Amino acid sequence: MLNVDETLSTLKFAQRAKFIKNIAIVNEDSVRNGFASAEEVKKLRLEVASLRGKRFLSILAQGI
């Protein structure tokens, strides 16, 4: 009988938790942003290639 209050509290919590419902909503409009995302990826890949080229040229200039 020492833990009656805690046990009742736990059971009440479990009862309330059974009625919780979650509804997932996607925040991104994949149709509209799909093209923009592809363009952004292309732009970033070109930037990475450019930076890698500059790094390679920098290494050559240092004689490493």
DSSP code per residue over 3-44: THHHHHHHHHHHHHHHT--------S-HHHHHHHHHHHHHHH
Specify the pLDDT at position 36: 63
Query: Considering the chain, what is the average pLDDT of its residues?
Result: 80
Mean pLDDT, to the nearest integer, of 14-36? 77
Mean pLDDT, to the nearest integer, of 2-17? 91
Specify the pLDDT at position 63: 67
Phi, psi of 27 (to 5 degrees): -85, -10
Specify the pLDDT at position 32: 59
Give the model confidence (pLDDT) of 28-51 as tens digits: 665 555 566 778 888 888 898 888
Whole-model pTM: value is 0.37
Nearest C-alpha neighbor of 28 from the set 20, 16, 18, 36: 36
